[in-house]
Amino acid sequence: MRRGRVHDTWLRSQHFDEPGLQLAYETAHDTTLAALGRRDRLDAAITRMAADSAYTPVVTRLGCLRECPR
């Protein structure tokens, strides 16, 4: 199981006796998941746009700097 899934499973297993605290926790968790979803959709859109841009050749060449071992 991926580390993120293990953490999410743990987060979902947290429960609080006080209803207001439980609601606040669930709201914060839902907000975090929504933000992660938006980030993933933006990353995918940027990847698609970058594949067909005037800057694609330059970005491709610069990509080797990020992937090269140090």
Per-residue confidence (pLDDT) for residue 55, from 0 to 100: 86
Query: How is residue 55 annotated by DSSP?
Result: T
The answer to whether residue 53 scores a pLDDT higher than 80 is yes
Predicted TM-score (pTM) of this structure: 0.67
- For residue 3, the Cα-to-chain-centroid distance in whole angstroms is 13
pLDDT single digits (tens) 24-41: 999 999 999 999 999 999
Instruction: Give the span between the Cα atoms of 61 and 66, in whole angstroms.
Output: 10
